[in-house]
Chains A and B, each alone.
Chain A
Amino acid sequence: MSMIRKISRRRFLELTGLSASGMVLMGSLPGSALAGVLDMQQGAMLNLFVSVKADGLVEIIAHRSEMGTGIRTSLPQVVADEMEADWSRVKVIQGLANADYGSQNTDGSRSVRDFYHIMRQMGAAARVSLEQAAANRWAANIGDVAASNHQIIHRDGRRLDFGELAAEAARLPMPDMATLRLKSPADFRYIGKDIPIVDLQDMCTGNTTYGIDVRIPGMLFASIERTPVLQGKVRSFDRAAALKMPGVVDVIKIEGKPLPSGFNPLEGVAVLATDSYSAMQARAKLNINWERGVHATHNSGAYLDELAARVSAGPGKVARERGDTEAALGKARKIVEATYVTPYLAHAPMEPPVATAHIHDGICEIWACTQTPQATQKTVAATLGMEDKSVKVHVTLLGGGFGRKSKPDFSVEAALLARDTGRPVQVTWTREDDIRHDYFHSCSAQYYKGGLDDNDKLIAWLAREATPPISSTFKAGANMQDDGSLSMSFGSIPFAVANLRVESHEADAHVRIGWLRSVFNIPYVFGIGSFMDELAHAAGKDPRDFWLETIGPDRELDFADEGFEFSNYGRSLADFPYDTGRLKGVITQLTDTLPWGRTLPAGQGWGLCAARSFLSYVAVATRVEVKDGRLRVMEMHCMMDAGTVVNPDRVHAQMEGAMIFGLSLALMGEIDFKEGEAVQSNFHDYPVARLNQVPHVVKTHIVSSDALASGVGEPGVPPVAPSIANAIFAATGQRIREFPFNKYFSI
């Protein structure tokens, strides 16, 4: 197992940014990250993730990015538990980009699901090394010693602190991973407990280092005017006027690349100054003349109309088929049809993209709020023509990510400017840059047709979609969703319906498409969850009962014989079956906590939706009031079954955040394009939910489960928007089939 092989001391220092050159620079970083990194030098390494200092301080590597999920705490919490470390004597150290850690790509809600077991092994391996060192010291049998709360204790009562054994333990060969004994869950000290995040106090005092807080001596601050239309080119600009502005040191053109966009910077002109504000202000003087290119014809309103017409007009490419849908629709007693459209969305993390680059001594150092240090390393190395190992990527805290900071284009910009100026450069995106030049969440149109039989049971399900795909960002001209993307709910509907067909239409991309928290589950679960509600009402059934009846018997789904390659979020169905019993479970357990089915005052209604995404099962119920054209979301309730949970408080926090993220996009989320340019630019025209707009009741529940840990960061989001739309229907009889709802109601 390469992950845990012994590595040399020097190599370890490189991995954590402590090799000679790195150390000097880290010395200029403010905040707590620094203290931890410098302390590390005295620790004895037990494995790639764990070292112990002579005074007993245990240092644990966080190799995933902290963007608000608490992962810098949760995974080290697992290591500490398995090694029997005392959490108050643990320090978390952020690791640099390095393939030895395994994937550091912090998205897809997979940090815990992919690393829970590995972190347990790391902790257990460290514990066994310490136990063996103690056994050797005492000339005892390893079976007679055991770790407990930072000590190794002999049966006869002798005991040694971890710190006293660290150096010896570090010299031992790695324990045999095959026979490694993991703790029994009954003995867990920290796993399953609400451990406060390690950054909590610093976040409350401002003693933190986000990407935007990095300060390197002599660095320049850059702000870049980018092409307003995808693939636009700079014809000319006024360098002299910008250079005359106070504080401005340099003006540099950044050359765009041909499609696909990939992680390449957009074409633009950078202003470099001695402070951020001067650089931002001087952009106004550039007076750039743009060659706008072919995408300048893109108008999103008309384009969505076109996609909606396409999906309702006729058949597309079949992605999944069961039975004979046409025949069943012909026989059905009731037919229900509906078309849903969802707009482009921007991520708008509170901290915009920011990266700092410094090229010196044959290496390039990057400090960035990145979700993907390894992709940053590779892309910067390729751009500069350097070897991967010559690019050191330091991961700061991220002021939110939501998928935006998975794309390292902003680090590449910083690297190019550092190369061209020979100085450290920080590139800060303004909020306007962030919203106008995002890797946008894609727009989508979906058409559904369902048939009910004489007993008002669902007998046919036809679904068609057209969505500019993410693959267009990596393959020029790609214009159709593949099974992987359709696996985000559209193709993987869990209903026990005898006849179903799922189809896709072409949809050309005219902007950079990216992934945003829960990705295509946002449009698809909105369509599916709303249409289920429409069917329930047509059937004259309570929506909750209709969901349970239509999901059908408890079973594990297999899609292979229906021609659909279900990606299951990259994991096997053997490990993570699609279990309809768990999906029904979140619905019944949630509605059991509510006065579901009871009559409400006029103008109020409950709405429900459930979905499986990122291998977790989530149900959301929302109560709204619509009065005098004003929509008020009164309460939101969420039940999540994410299998084994490491830090319940942080899971609750993710669910609370997901409710509000979902509320934002449903009520007010929309990016429009006019003549190829994003219309919105800041929080006045791309609003996100504010405190006074969120309900006073946001209740979250975690299903207690010992199933394998599944995703947490994203799966709370998809059911929110349809639950609100369904509640609006219950309250008013008005069916809303598009975002944002503020087109219909004041909020």
Chain B
Amino acid sequence: MKITVNGKEQELDIAPDLPLLWVLRDHLQLTGTKYGCGKGLCGACTVHLDGAPVRSCQTPASAAAGGLVLTIEGLSSDASHPVQVAWQEHNVPQCGYCQSGQIMSAVALLERTPSPSDAEIDSAMAGNICRCGTYTRVRLAIRQAGAQAGESQA
């Protein structure tokens, strides 16, 4: 099966029902995408499949076959994506574990909705648990990244 991950086509000999999360982590050594619940409940495993955010623990490899997968490692190599920049300016991470998922969800939100309302932020990010409680700063960083995107388009 062929899956393109972060722009690189990968030829994989795996069971079609193996969740994408474990394909990334155990077969491609892309460990930036995290396991948190394995049940689609926490968002730690969020990646983009053909531009849309998906929970990779609930996405069988077969569903990604032939598709384009973007993980945190592919967002930028130097943390220069506007969402990563906003994340750093607000010192969002505490333990950091949930943050790849938070960032991938935020990027997807801002790609669809460049200046999201509070309610849009709440609903787009409700699937990403942060046990450390960085939510206040997640909101601030999304607003900043959104505002910057708005400015650069204007």
Contacts and interface: CB of A to CB of B under 8 A. Distances in A.
A46 to B, nearest CB: 30
B26 A350 contact: no
Interface centre among A199, A207, A428 (most CB of B within 10 A): A207
A548 B143 CA distance: 40
A660 interface: yes
A272 interface: no
B94 A683 contact: no
A277 interface: yes
A350 B32 contact: no
Contact of B19 (A66, A277, A399): A277
A402 B125 CA distance: 23
A200 interface: yes
Interface in A393-428: 397-402, 428
Contact of A691 (B22, B25, B44, B138): B138
B152 interface: no
B37 A205 contact: no
A694 B132 CA distance: 13
B24 to A, nearest CB: 10
A277 B18 contact: yes
Contacts of A348: 131
B126 A657 contact: no
Contacts of A197: 91, 93
B153 interface: no
A728 B32 CA distance: 41
Interface residues of A, number: 64
Nearest to B102: A691
Contacts of A649: 91
Contacts of A352: 35
Contacts of A400: 95, 97, 131-132
Contact of A204 (B19, B39, B87, B131): B87
B10 interface: no
A221 B22 CA distance: 12
B134 A206 contact: no
Contact of A205 (B26, B76, B129, B132): B76
Interface string A645-679: 00001000110111111000000000000000000
A431 B39 CA distance: 9
Interface string A673-701: 00000000011100011111010101000
Contacts of B96: 68, 199, 202-203, 208, 397, 399
B139 to A, nearest CB: 7
Contact of B132 (A30, A196, A350, A698): A350
A246 B137 CA distance: 43
B22 A431 contact: no
A607 to B, nearest CB: 19
Contacts of B75: 205
A690 to B, nearest CB: 5
B64 interface: no
A684 B31 contact: no
Contact of B84 (A205, A276, A280, A698): A205
Interface string B82-94: 0010011001011
Contacts of B144: none
Contacts of B115: none
A350 B131 contact: yes
Contacts of B29: 30, 215
B31 A683 contact: no
Interface string B13-56: 00100110110011101111111111101101000000000000
Given A277-B19, A430-B38, A694 B136 contact: yes
Contacts of A659: 133
Contacts of B30: 206
Contacts of A430: 38
A689 B133 contact: yes
Contact of A210 (B41, B97, B103, B139): B97
B95 A684 contact: no
Contact of B123 (A200, A692, A696): A692
Interface string A608-642: 00000000000000000000000000000000000
Contacts of B42: 350, 431, 683
A683 B37 CA distance: 7
B59 to A, nearest CB: 13
B122 interface: yes
Interface in B67-112: 71-73, 75-79, 84, 87-88, 91, 93-100, 103
A340 B100 CA distance: 40
A194 to B, nearest CB: 8
A194 B88 CA distance: 13
B118 interface: yes
B133 A658 contact: yes
A388 interface: no
B136 A656 contact: yes
Contact of B88 (A201, A221, A351): A201
Which of A30, A200, A213, A690 has the most B CB atoms < 10 Å from its CB?
Answer: A690
Contacts of B129: 350, 683, 688, 690
A398 B15 CA distance: 31
A436 to B, nearest CB: 13
Contacts of B103: 204
Most buried by B among A399, A400, A649: A399
Contacts of A688: 129, 131
A400 B131 CA distance: 7
Contacts of B19: 277
B71 A682 contact: no
A119 interface: no
A100 to B, nearest CB: 27
Contacts of A689: 133, 135
Nearest to A693: B126
B26 A275 contact: yes
Contacts of A280: 38
25 contacts: A199-B93, A199-B96, A200-B93, A201-B78, A204-B99, A206-B30, A206-B32, A206-B71, A210-B97, A215-B29, A215-B31, A276-B35, A277-B26, A350-B98, A430-B38, A654-B94, A656-B137, A659-B133, A660-B133, A661-B133, A682-B41, A683-B42, A691-B121, A692-B122, A698-B136
Sorted from nearest, which 4 A-B pairs have the closest CB atoms?
A206-B32, A399-B97, A660-B133, A68-B95
Interface of A: 30, 66-70, 194, 196-197, 199-210, 212-213, 215, 221, 246, 275-277, 280, 348-352, 397-402, 428, 430-431, 649, 653-654, 656-661, 682-684, 688-692, 694, 696, 698
Given A656-B137, A688-B131, 16 more contacts: A68-B93, A70-B94, A200-B88, A205-B79, A207-B32, A207-B73, A210-B34, A212-B35, A215-B29, A350-B131, A397-B95, A398-B95, A430-B38, A660-B133, A688-B129, A691-B130
Interface of B: 15, 18-19, 21-22, 25-27, 29-39, 41-42, 44, 71-73, 75-79, 84, 87-88, 91, 93-100, 103, 118, 121-123, 125-139
